[in-house]
């Protein structure tokens, strides 16, 4: 993966940008839910849109659109990709 | 598990509340939520359905019978789940049914438009039971999204029959029934692909393997048992004791902790 | 006890596995999931080719509109109004036809009964009681349901409903509840019992209980006809040319009130008996799909309309018989029914209703569908209704029994905010496994409704508006 930059939280991603999952700081059932949906370290994820009032946010991951609240997305670390546009 | 037909019938009745007739093939239907599982279930079983809850759980249970080529089948619609790692009641029910009821055939319904997330479940099913058919549903939607899936290569990769369907249009359902019959009767052998884990996990499995072999009286795959132990999955050990009667010792261990 | 066990017991192996698990710096569980997806990617790389398509673009464009800041909420409101407008405008004519047909048949039945020479009380119980109530239930309920359910199933099949949850989640988060609660409320429009069952989709037990306890604040299909008829008579009828639209707006307003109440009560519950912070939300937004018209009609008519109608008929038939008997057993000068109504009357008047309305709601515990038919039966047991088929006829019956616009509004408010039907209570018991929650699911909406109409009535009376 070229173009790797700094480590961010998934929640800080703006719509349209693509990033790669680094690690999950979540715990319990939510952590398992997220993992089972294929959001595992290394996965590419694209921020698609925010809800009408800014939260939750919909992400495209493995061809599915998944909405997460900002509190939860804040606990997922990602690496922003500059040239990730074609990857997903 | 290797059970006699009679033992199996009473196990289905006692643990799952499902009545299966003598000589009837048991077919489990697994899949993620929203993949058209119930469309397939309705199309195959029509009005011959029985709905209720799983014993002691607030989770829907639907069963239905169908006939194909003078053979009788009982289809059990498992709860829609993303995984079988048993973090929810639904996952636990689906896992226990595949594991302990050992259906003659398990049909895993996949959404062709998001193959990766659906294969996650399929590969987990492959670890539990060898008699699997993959039903690649929503092929019409995949076509609209211009996703091209090479069904023959997929069949080769997975080692089980793959049937492409568009259940809402009724496409591919006859072929699905044909494959169910073939696998149930043993005419079509299957050899599902097993997950290869990273070296650390494989090493740990190797380490535990000699110990677990005898635990489940050789009725379950030792490799899978070892993986569950590494997963630290207590719910599975609880199920194991209730189904196989390994209880007293396990209960002791629980109290000790 | 372990004598029969093989060389190693389960507990020994478990502790051995525990040691192995602890020796690994990361979590084996996480690693395994990641590994499974690694295997999956290998497979898909070999079998899947993406050619990029306009189909994704279509979804995106639609989502741009449906979840946009500017149009997201207005669009939801618009859909709500449209659905009810179509339902009410469409149900009007068939309802009238059904009523005139069914009541014409009643006269025929009466002739047959007379011809056979049955005693008049048998004719009374069977024709004037059972048959007439059934005719009401079918004429009033069948057309709106046969229109509403297919429309709702269309929305459900198209993939729009998860977008509602997406749009509304942050409001539910403020009420310390889950956005998926809006999906269970959508199911509640069809049937509150189904709505309570649908609460299974909410993971957090606290938030699931909140959703269960507040589900009856969305009016189910058994209550729509009551709302529609009362609104048509007293509000829509007053503005002749736009009756349908005005009714749709009134009903939509009531539903918004129900939603607001749901949010308020959810928030209050989160501060008191179901204390807690909002948990997480993982909501899948599936692709839009073109609904299969055939299967929509098949499922909505067979599974829903006929199912609900059957339930209503099964309860309405005996209830109609009982009402007729009560109305025709006299103690002194008064029928039992009138005595009962009068006994409840002071209490009803306090809340701006009357004794018969209260009695109809109490009997409606069996099924909300029978509230209006029973009420009309009660009024008619003492009076006459010449014209069964026009709203004007109904209006004169109600007005001659002392109804004002205040009674009409209270009737609608209390229909929206009162105890759930017995099926819903039973379902709540099955889902929660506790009588305590069943009791609360009865008390919370009841107290809310009584407070609302009491305050409203006293205010209106104080201001001298009625």
What is the pLDDT at residue A84? 52
Q: In whole angstroms, what is the distance from residue B111 CA to residue A29 CA? A: 24
The structural domains of chain A, ordered by start, are 4-87 (2.30.30.90)
Label residue B253 by pLDDT band (50, 70, 90). very low
Label residue B158 by pLDDT band (50, 70, 90). very high
Q: What does the DSSP 8-state code read for residue C154?
A: H
CA distances (Å), B100 to each of B54, B88, B240, in order? Answer: 15, 18, 8
Check residues B256 and C78 and name the one with the higher pLDDT: C78
What is the pLDDT at residue C208? 95
ipTM value, please give it.
Answer: 0.92
Under a CB-based contact definition with an 8 Å cutoff, are residues C178 and C281 in contact?
A: yes
Does the beta-carbon distance from B116 to A62 stay under 8 Å? yes
Is cis: bond before A56, omega within 30 of 0? yes
Tell whether the torsion through CA atoms of C189, C195, C198 and C204 is positive or negative: positive
Does the beta-carbon distance from B231 to C200 stay under 8 Å? no
Contacts of A64 in chain B (CB under 8 A): 114, 117
B114 contacts chain A (CB < 8 A): yes
Does the beta-carbon distance from C292 to B168 stay under 8 Å? yes
Cβ neighbour number for residue A70 with a 10 Å cutoff: 18
Label residue B256 by pLDDT band (50, 70, 90). very low
Does the beta-carbon distance from C170 to A65 stay under 8 Å? no
Tell me the Ramachandran region of residue B74: left when phi exceeds 0, alpha when psi lies from -120 to 50, beta otherwise: beta
Q: In whole angstroms, what is the distance from residue B147 CA to residue C140 CA? A: 49
A1 contacts chain C (CB < 8 A): no
What is the pLDDT at residue A83? 60
B198 contacts chain A (CB < 8 A): no
pLDDT over 60 at A1, yes or no: no
pLDDT tens digits, residue range B37-90? 989 999 999 877 888 888 888 888 899 999 999 999 999 999 999 999 877 889
What is the pLDDT at residue C418? 96
CA distances (Å), C94 to each of B55, C100, C244, in order? Answer: 44, 10, 15
The structural domains of chain B, ordered by start, are 5-184 (3.40.50.300), 199-256 (no CATH)
Low-confidence ranges of chain C (pLDDT < 50): 1-7, 384-386
Q: In whole angstroms, what is the distance from residue C144 CA to residue C232 CA? A: 14
Interface probe, candidates C39, C47, C56, C212, chain B, greatest B C-beta count within 10 A: C47
What is the pLDDT at residue C177? 94
Does the beta-carbon distance from A66 to C73 stay under 8 Å? no
Under a CB-based contact definition with an 8 Å cutoff, are residues B234 and C29 in contact?
A: no
What is the pLDDT at residue C148? 84
Return mean pLDDT, chain B. 88
In angstroms, what separates the C-alpha of A3 from chain C's closest C-alpha? 22
What is the pLDDT at residue C4? 45
Check residues C174 and A7 and name the one with the higher pLDDT: C174
Tell whether the torsion through CA atoms of A40, A46, A47 and A48 is positive or negative: negative
Under a CB-based contact definition with an 8 Å cutoff, are residues B11 and B3 in contact?
A: yes
Q: Which of residues 40-69 of A touch C (CB under 8 A)?
A: 40-43, 48-49, 51-56, 58, 64-69
pLDDT tens digits, residue range A16-40? 999 999 999 998 889 999 999 999 9
What is the pLDDT at residue B234? 83
Q: Measured between CB atoms, which of C29, C56, C430 is closest to B231?
A: C29
Label residue B2 by pLDDT band (50, 70, 90). low
């Amino acid at each position: 993966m070229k173009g790797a930059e700094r480590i961010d939280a998934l929640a800080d991603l703006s719509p349209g940008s693509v990033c790669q999952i680094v690690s999950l700081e979540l715990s319990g059932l939510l952590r398992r839910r997220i993992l089972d949906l294929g959001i595992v370290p290394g996965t590419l994820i694209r921020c698609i849109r925010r809800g009408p009032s800014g939260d939750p946010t919909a992400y495209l991951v493995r061809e599915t659109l998944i909405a997460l609240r900002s509190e939860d997305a804040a606990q997922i670390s990602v690496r922003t990709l500059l040239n990730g546009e074609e990857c997903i | 598990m290797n059970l006699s037909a009679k033992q199996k019938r009473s196990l289905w009745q006692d643990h799952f509340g499902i009545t299966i007739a003598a000589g009837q093939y048991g077919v489990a239907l697994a899949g993620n939520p929203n993949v058209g599982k119930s469309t397939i279930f309705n199309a195959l079983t029509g009005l011959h359905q029985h709905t209720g809850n799983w014993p002691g759980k607030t989770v829907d249970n639907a069963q239905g019978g169908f006939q194909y080529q003078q053979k009788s089948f009982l289809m059990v619609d498992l709860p829609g789940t993303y995984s079988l790692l048993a973090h929810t009641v639904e996952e636990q029910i689906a896992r226990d049914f595949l594991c302990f009821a050992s259906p003659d055939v398990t049909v895993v319904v996949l959404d062709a438009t998001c193959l990766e997330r659906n294969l996650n479940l399929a590969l987990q099913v492959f670890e539990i039971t060898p008699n699997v058919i993959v039903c690649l549903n929503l092929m019409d939607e995949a076509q609209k999204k211009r996703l091209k899936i090479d069904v023959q290569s997929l069949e080769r990769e997975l080692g089980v029959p793959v049937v492409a369907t568009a259940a809402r249009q009724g496409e591919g359902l006859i072929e699905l029934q044909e494959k169910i019959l073939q696998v149930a009767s043993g005419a079509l052998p299957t050899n599902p692909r097993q997950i290869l884990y990273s070296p650390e996990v494989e090493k740990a499995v190797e380490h535990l393997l000699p110990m677990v072999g005898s635990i489940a009286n050789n009725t379950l795959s030792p490799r899978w048992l070892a993986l569950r132990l590494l997963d630290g999955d207590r719910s599975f050990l609880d199920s194991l004791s209730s189904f196989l009667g390994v209880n007293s010792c396990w209960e002791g261990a629980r109290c000790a902790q | 006890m372990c004598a029969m066990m093989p060389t190693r017991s389960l507990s020994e192996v478990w502790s051995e596995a525990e040691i192995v698990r602890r020796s690994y710096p990361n979590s084996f569980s996480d690693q395994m999931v990641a590994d499974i997806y690694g295997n999956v990617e290998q497979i898909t790389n070999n079998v899947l080719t993406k050619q990029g398509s306009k189909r994704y673009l279509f979804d995106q464009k639609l989502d741009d509109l449906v979840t946009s800041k500017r149009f997201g909420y207005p669009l939801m409101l618009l859909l709500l109004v449209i659905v009810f407008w179509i339902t009410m405008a469409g149900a009007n004519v068939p309802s009238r036809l059904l009523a005139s047909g069914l009541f014409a048949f009643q006269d025929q039945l009466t002739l047959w009964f007379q011809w056979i020479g049955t005693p008049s009380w048998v004719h009374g119980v069977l024709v004037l009681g059972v048959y007439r109530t059934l005719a009401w239930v079918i004429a009033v309920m069948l057309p709106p349901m046969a229109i509403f359910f297919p429309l709702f199933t269309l929305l459900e099949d198209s993939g729009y409903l998860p977008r509602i949850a997406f749009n509304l989640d942050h409001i539910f988060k403020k009420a310390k509840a889950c956005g998926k609660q809006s999906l269970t409320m959508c199911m509640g429009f069809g049937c509150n019992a189904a709505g309570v069952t649908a609460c299974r989709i909410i993971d957090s037990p606290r938030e699931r209980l909140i959703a269960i306890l507040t589900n009856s604040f969305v009016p189910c299909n058994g209550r729509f006809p009551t709302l529609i008829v009362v609104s048509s008579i007293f509000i829509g009828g007053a503005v002749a040319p736009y009756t349908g639209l005005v009714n749709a707006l009134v009903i939509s307003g009531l539903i918004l009130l129900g939603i607001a109440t749901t949010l308020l009560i959810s928030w209050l519950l989160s501060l008191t008996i179901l204390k807690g912070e909002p948990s997480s939300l993982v909501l899948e937004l599936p692709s839009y799909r073109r609904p299969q018209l055939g299967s929509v009609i098949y499922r909505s008519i067979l599974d829903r309309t006929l199912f609900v109608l059957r339930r209503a008929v099964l309860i309405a038939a005996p209830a109609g018989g009982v009402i007729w008997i009560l109305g025709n057993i006299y103690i002194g000068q008064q029928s039992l029914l009138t005595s009962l109504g009068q006994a409840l009357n002071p209490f009803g008047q306090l809340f701006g209703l009357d004794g018969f309305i209260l009695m109809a709601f109490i009997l409606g515990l069996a099924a909300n569908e029978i509230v209006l038919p029973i009420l009309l039966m009660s009024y008619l047991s003492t009076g006459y209704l010449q014209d069964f088929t026009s709203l004007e006829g109904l209006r004169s019956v109600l007005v001659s029994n002392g109804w004002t616009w205040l009674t009409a509004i209270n009737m609608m408010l209390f229909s929206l905010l009162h105890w759930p039907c017995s099926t819903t209570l039973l379902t709540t018991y099955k889902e929660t496994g506790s009588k305590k929650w069943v009791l609360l699911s009865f008390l919370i909406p009841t107290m809310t409704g009584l407070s609302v109409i009491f305050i409203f009535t006293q205010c209106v009376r104080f201001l001298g508006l009625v």
